[in-house]
Chain A
Amino acid sequence: MKILIIEDETSLSNSIASYLKADNYLCEIAGNYKMALDKIESFDYDCILLDITLPDGNGLNVLKELKKSKRTDGVIIISAKNSVNDKIDGLNLGADDYISKPFHLSELSARISAVIRRRRFDGSANIIVNEITIDTIANTIFINNKLLDLTKKEYDLLLYLVINKNRVISKSAIAEHISGDNADYFDNFDFIYAHIKNLKKKMTSAGAADYIKSIYGMGYKFEVN
């Protein structure tokens, strides 16, 4: 999988690349508008991460160029502005998703994974990890081909953990993911523990191995070899 990171802050683009590399993504970095245009002219990408504010141009123009040449690369807009208008403009121009700075790398990884799944031509949107099969179209999870009865939040949580497998995800990243913007109002993430506990119980009683590990209370990790 090839990812293009169009972002002028090298420290940010490097950490994104470093996180995504472990997922076997091939990352390329474009630090400005001109480089970005050069890259998209020469290569196809599965997903492009696009910062709108670039030193030498507006990122939205990159999006326009892509659409002009009828490209189907997935695009996720990264913006520091968090403005509704930017979001609407970007999505209207054909971006697949919009994420505002600052974000958790695990969240970005989940969004990239969703964009790539949606763009897959073979229609296979199943994620399989050993005995666990996640059908991301029907939003259902099977363990040993048996349907697992989960609430919506538990489903979101498990999908999030699986996509970021073998990574430690902080509690705040999990809270933000399952509560959306409203996580802003929380100052206590203890409720995540309750969800994790329920999820683990349901999974192990359905015959799955105990994959979810707590890491010193700072976060959780879906551990699979």
Chain B
Amino acid sequence: MKLTHHISIRYIGITSVIILFTIPIFYFIILFVMMNSLDETLLFQKQWIEKELETTSPENFISYNNDIFITSVTSENEKQRIFNQEIYIPEDNEFVTHRVLEFTTAANGKLYHVRFQKSLVETEDLLNSIIAIQSGIFIILLISLFYINRNIKRKVWKPFYKTLTELSNYRVDKQLSLDLQPCKINEINDLNKSVNELTKRNHQLYIEQKEFTENASHELQTPLAIMQSNIDLLLQTSPITEEQALIIENLTEANQRMNKLNKTLLLLTKIDNNQFPNKELINIRNVLLKLLSCYEDISKQKNITLSACLDEKTAIYADKTLAEVLLGNLLSNAIRHTTQNGMIEIELKKVSFRITNTASGKALDPEKLFKRFQKHGTNSHSIGLGLEISKKICNLYGYQIQYSFANNQHCFTLEFN
């Protein structure tokens, strides 16, 4: 729900409650005021009647609507009283509430009982008018709220929505920082300032981290080279016992893995830094055939049945190294994870590449599959960066990479575009 809507709904709710409450309050206040003035008029009239009775006989009293009744009485039986009474009006054929004043007065030595009345029909009309006016106000309020909201959203919230759009489009690896312009509203100015600084700081951190990985990998190359050459020299010393040979072999292996890990990390940073700008047209079939001949030894050793159906014309526009890494990773993964005597099927179509291999276990978790250092199975030699690199290369060139599992077979599909 939008903030403006959220506020409006509350605003309208409170307004309606207030208006509903004010209708009876208004009614009673106005009724009270009216009654007061009516009673005052009646009392005023009473004085006038008392004065008239001194000079005129009651029979000659003429009044509008014949609403003054004067009768002679013998005793002063009651005091003056004012009250409401329903009285039938034959002309309208209905009962109408009247305000009635009764009193006894003496004139020319005679006692008279006087009663006169005034119709209260206006009060009902008054109530209706109040409701009508209040409803009118309510409707005007709603309409103006709607317009105010629209206006607010269009003008007042505009810088906020701009900030929001810019922020959701922000990529820490692409932009230095957001450059949001100041505006009239203080809160939005503060927000923009914070966002500008936050993005700037984030980008700075991102760059530092990237540089660190790159520098660390480069700096590691030399000590790795020293270790490698010294192991090679150690191999030449004699005599070497079988025990020493085993230690040297373990050292070689660890060094090899470290080397591989470092190379892969370097490759990852290079892809991140977009250091592969040279694109060329690459025939995928040729790359695959070259890779297949490289893996011939290892797939023979595992007695893997390999079937390939390769379109001759499929070509992509990419960096050659990256294309080889992408396909090489998928191929070597397939070979690595295929069981002894298993099967690998490769299919290259015009815009897609599919590689299927016999699985030794269950399906891989597609959520974690392309994440860094996710190792599948117990193969300690796997460094767990291959698929992340493949994914990165796909992202770079806009290819789709997908994993599926069916009939105890892992299947990776690449879609070029």
Contacts and interface: CB of A to CB of B under 8 A. Distances in A.
Interface of A: 9, 11-12, 15-16, 18-19, 22, 80-84, 100-106, 153, 167-173, 179-180, 182, 184-188, 190-191, 194-195, 215-219
A84 B325 CA distance: 14
B332 interface: yes
Interface string B263-276: 10010000000010
Q: Is the interface of B mostly helix, strand, loop or mixed?
A: helix
B207 interface: no
Given A170-B249, A218-B249, 5 more contacts: A19-B229, A80-B221, A100-B221, A182-B328, A187-B379
Contacts of B256: 172
B275 to A, nearest CB: 8
A12 B227 CA distance: 9
Contacts of A15: 226, 229-230, 232-233
B336 A187 contact: yes
Contacts of A180: 294
28 contacts: A9-B225, A9-B226, A11-B230, A15-B226, A15-B230, A15-B232, A16-B229, A19-B229, A80-B225, A81-B218, A102-B229, A102-B255, A103-B228, A104-B228, A105-B229, A153-B297, A167-B236, A170-B232, A182-B328, A184-B260, A184-B263, A185-B328, A186-B332, A187-B379, A188-B298, A215-B235, A218-B235, A218-B252
Contact of B381 (A18, A187, A191): A187
Interface string B226-267: 111111110110001010011011001101100110010010
B233 A215 contact: no
A12 B230 CA distance: 8
B297 A19 contact: no
Contacts of B248: 218
Nearest to A104: B232
Contacts of B259: 102
Interface in B372-403: 379, 381-382
A11 B222 CA distance: 10
A11 B252 CA distance: 18
B301 interface: yes
Q: Give the contact-size bracket for chain B.
A: 35 or more
Given A194-B297, A216-B242, A168 B226 contact: no
Interface of B: 218, 221-222, 224-233, 235-236, 240, 242, 245-246, 248-249, 252-253, 255-256, 259-260, 263, 266, 275, 278, 291, 294-295, 297-298, 300-301, 321, 328-329, 332, 336, 379, 381-382
A223 to B, nearest CB: 12
Closest 4 CB pairs of A and B: A187-B381, A216-B245, A102-B225, A185-B332
B301 A191 contact: yes
B301 A194 contact: yes
A169 B218 CA distance: 26
Nearest to B258: A102
A102 B222 CA distance: 7
A102 B227 contact: yes
Nearest to A193: B301
Nearest to A181: B324
A170 B245 contact: no
A186 B333 CA distance: 10
Contacts of B379: 187
A219 B227 contact: no
| Among B233, B236, B240, B329: residue with most chain A CB under 10 A | B236
Given A101-B225, A187-B336, A217-B245, A173 B232 contact: yes
A185 B226 CA distance: 23
Contact of B298 (A82, A100, A170, A191): A191
B222 A12 contact: yes
Contacts of B232: 15, 19, 104-106, 170, 173
A103 B225 contact: yes
A80 to B, nearest CB: 4
A217 B236 contact: no
A172 B252 CA distance: 8
Contacts of A82: 221, 263, 266
Contacts of B221: 80-82, 100-102
Contact of B229 (A12, A185, A219): A12
Contact of A12 (B225, B255, B332, B382): B225
A219 B228 CA distance: 14
B73 to A, nearest CB: 127
Contacts of B246: 216, 218
Contact of A80 (B218, B245, B253, B328): B218
A81 B220 CA distance: 10
A207 B209 CA distance: 61
B294 A179 contact: yes
A84 B321 contact: yes
Contacts of B291: 182
B233 A218 contact: no
| Among A18, A167, A168, A195: residue with most chain B CB under 10 A | A168
A216 B252 CA distance: 14
Contacts of B233: 15, 18-19, 105
A168 B381 CA distance: 24
A110 to B, nearest CB: 12
Nearest to B229: A15
Contacts of A84: 278, 321
